[in-house]
């Protein structure tokens, strides 16, 4: 359904443009208007499912670019912001199409005009639904090209030619800033994917983020004709003199991409939260901690506000010291509090086999909690989940800390492999984690722990053990090498 919202305007544009002579003016009107109305209805349903029911959808079609560290896919993300943008874009576009059927009735080139109009709508939908900056840029440039075609609709008029060229040239100035911003994003984050960038932003340098935000703002200023990149807008109106009945249509279109470009680009890029600077490897470490026995606890204060802290248990005090000095110190200077489990009443007098640790509250944990936990109405509590962007957060570092935090070496019989405890996650989430291991060229199987309660563990295949050891040994704390059978 979600891809159909994008495809219908494109289909209407192609039919009206390439088959316009066969279907005639009336056929062009009916097909393009019907496609837009159907898209609007589907967008309304999507708004209910995603916007009101909070069920975001991500669709990945295929890889576009796969070169060294750059991996870009044709992906579309339908979250609450996206479906909120769909409503005004599609509703207003539908009204414009319907209005134009009568207002443009006397023009001999109706089919071409309606083809441009539907194509413009399609590229706006691509702009707001792309899951990474490259897909967004396709929609961005598509809007620029169709704007050129609409301003230059009467291409036999010299003034229309000049106005269209001016609009395209001014937009290239903005696109230059936008392109540099994309290069800077990739240099800083190593990715152009929204999910990756948004999860890493809290760790990045404030100055770098500010510069990137200004570069992206330059593109939005040119596209929406803001000072000093505004001169193309009055020129486009000048190019339409003598074509009085086009002006309301163009103004509507300008309103649409001013609304979509500015709100979407600024909400997603320039207003991102900034906390501090930390290395990217820290995120992968935290991911491994969270996959293991780590948790982000939430306690309610008297005023109803949440207080968050990182919690973990381990049998190595040296490991907790390592986490504190080498990992968590990069985004907070608060000390961890470690205490042996024999402090608990039921453990008094027994040998110390495990330490518990808790950090002080830090603002970053609020975002971390919402990433890894969701409210379960049936259980009436927060439950741990696999984040949507887990593939960007997972690496051999994550695997190393996952093994240290909640894995064990199983030497029963001739197996001699590693079992990863994943009882916090559902079977479907365990399958997702298995797919991450496959990306590291590691084979694994699911082992039933408690079928009634849907609890499973992941068993690394014996044939992949050498691969696992070569990947994670450089990141393993010396106290935990026994978990690799070393």
- pLDDT digits 0-9 by tens, 320-338: 888 877 777 766 666 667 7
- Is 275 part of a structural domain of the chain? no
Contact assessment for residue 335 and residue 362, using Cβ atoms and an 8 Å cutoff: no
Domain span including residue 52: 2-270
Quick one: tokens of 448?
């039933």
Average pLDDT over residues 297-309: 62
Does the pLDDT at position 457 exceed 50? yes
Count how many Cα atoms sit within 13 Å of the Cα of residue 406 in the half-sphere of its side chain.
20
Does the pLDDT at position 462 exceed 80? yes
Burial 14-53 (b: 16+ CB within 10 A, else e): ebbbeebeeeebeebbebbbebbbbbbebbbebbebbbee
User: What CA–CA distances, in Å, run from 278 to 69, 198, 270, 331?
Assistant: 20, 14, 20, 6
Do 264 and 323 lie in one domain? The reply is no
* pLDDT level of residue 272 (50, 70, 90 thresholds): very low
- pLDDT digits 0-9 by tens, 19-30: 878 888 888 888
3-state secondary structure (DSSP) of residue 269: helix
Select the highest-mean-pLDDT range: 118-122, 311-315, 352-356, 467-471.
467-471
Average pLDDT over residues 431-439: 89
- Is 371 part of a structural domain of the chain? yes
- pLDDT digits 0-9 by tens, 201-249: 666 666 777 788 788 777 777 766 667 766 666 666 654 444 444 444 5
Nearest to 11 by CA among 42, 38, 44: 38
Do 426 and 301 lie in one domain? The reply is yes
Do 199 and 151 lie in one domain? The reply is yes
Contact assessment for residue 256 and residue 124, using Cβ atoms and an 8 Å cutoff: yes
Do 338 and 480 lie in one domain? The reply is yes
Q: Give the end of a domain, one of 213, 245, 270.
A: 270
3-state secondary structure (DSSP) of residue 37: helix
Number of domains in the chain: 2
Do 315 and 263 lie in one domain? The reply is no
- pLDDT digits 0-9 by tens, 5-46: 888 989 888 888 888 788 888 888 888 889 989 998 998 998
Burial 364-380 (b: 16+ CB within 10 A, else e): bbbbbbebbbeeeeeee
Return the minimum-mean-pLDDT range out of 244-248, 282-286, 393-397, 445-449: 244-248
Does the pLDDT at position 120 exceed 60? yes
Predicted local confidence at residue 470, as pLDDT:
92
Does the pLDDT at position 271 exceed 80? no
Average pLDDT over residues 61-75: 74
- pLDDT digits 0-9 by tens, 165-215: 777 777 777 788 888 888 888 877 777 777 667 766 666 666 777 788 788
Contact assessment for residue 226 and residue 257, using Cβ atoms and an 8 Å cutoff: no
The CA distance from 232 to 168, in Å, is: 8
Average pLDDT over residues 120-138: 85
Does the pLDDT at position 347 exceed 70? no
Do 265 and 289 lie in one domain? The reply is no
Predicted local confidence at residue 468, as pLDDT:
92
Do 308 and 265 lie in one domain? The reply is no
- Residue-by-residue DSSP string for 113-139: HHHHHHHHHHHHHHHHHBSBHHHHHHH
């Amino acid at each position: 359904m979600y891809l159909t919202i994008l495809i219908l305007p494109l289909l209407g544009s192609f039919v009206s443009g390439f088959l316009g002579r066969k279907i005639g003016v009336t056929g062009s009107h009916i097909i393009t208007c019907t496609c837009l109305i159907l898209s609007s209805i589907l967008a309304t349903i999507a708004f209910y499912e995603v916007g009101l029911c909070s069920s975001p959808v991500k669709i990945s079609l295929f890889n576009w670019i796969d070169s060294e560290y750059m991996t870009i896919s044709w992906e579309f993300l339908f979250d609450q912001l996206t479906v909120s943008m769909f409503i005004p874009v599609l509703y207003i576009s539908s009204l414009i199409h319907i209005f134009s059927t009568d207002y443009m009735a006397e023009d001999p080139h109706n089919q071409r005009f309606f083809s441009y109009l539907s194509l413009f709508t399609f590229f706006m939908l691509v702009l707001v639904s792309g899951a990474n900056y490259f897909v967004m840029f396709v929609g961005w440039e598509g809007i620029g090209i169709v704007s050129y075609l609409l301003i230059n609709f009467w291409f036999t008029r010299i003034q229309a030619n000049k106005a269209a060229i001016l609009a395209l040239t001014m937009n290239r100035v903005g696109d230059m800033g936008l392109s540099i911003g994309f290069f800077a994003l990739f240099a800083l984050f190593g990715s152009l994917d929204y999910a990756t960038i948004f999860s890493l932003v809290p760790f990045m340098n404030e100055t770098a983020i500010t510069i990137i935000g200004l570069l992206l703002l330059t593109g939005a200023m040119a596209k929406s004709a803001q000072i000093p990149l505004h001169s193309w807008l009055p020129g486009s109106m000048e190019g339409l003199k003598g074509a009085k009945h086009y002006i309301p249509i163009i103004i509507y279109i300008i309103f649409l991409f001013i609304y979509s470009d500015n709100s979407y680009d600024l909400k997603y890029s320039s207003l991102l939260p900034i906390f501090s600077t930390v290395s990217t490897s820290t995120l992968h470490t935290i991911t491994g901690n969270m996959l293991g026995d780590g948790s982000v606890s939430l306690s309610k204060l008297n005023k109803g506000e949440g207080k968050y802290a990182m919690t973990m248990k381990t049998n190595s005090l040296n490991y907790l010291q390592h986490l504190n000095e080498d990992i968590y110190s990069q985004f907070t200077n608060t000390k961890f509090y470690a205490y042996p489990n024999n402090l608990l009443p039921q453990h008094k007098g027994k040998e110390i086999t495990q330490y518990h640790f808790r950090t002080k509250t830090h603002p970053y944990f609020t975002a971390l909690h919402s990433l890894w936990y969701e409210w379960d109405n049936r259980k009436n509590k927060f439950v741990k989940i696999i984040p949507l962007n887990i593939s960007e957060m997972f690496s051999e570092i994550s695997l190393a800390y996952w093994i240290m935090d909640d894995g064990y070496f199983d030497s029963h019989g001739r197996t001699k492999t590693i079992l990863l405890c994943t009882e916090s996650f559902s079977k479907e989430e365990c399958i997702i984690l298995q797919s991450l291991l496959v990306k590291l060229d590691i084979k694994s199987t699911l082992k039933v722990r408690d079928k009634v309660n849907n609890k499973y563990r992941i068993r690394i295949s014996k044939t992949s053990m050498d691969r696992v050891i070569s990947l994670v040994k450089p990141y393993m704390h010396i106290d935990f090498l026994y978990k690799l059978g070393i």
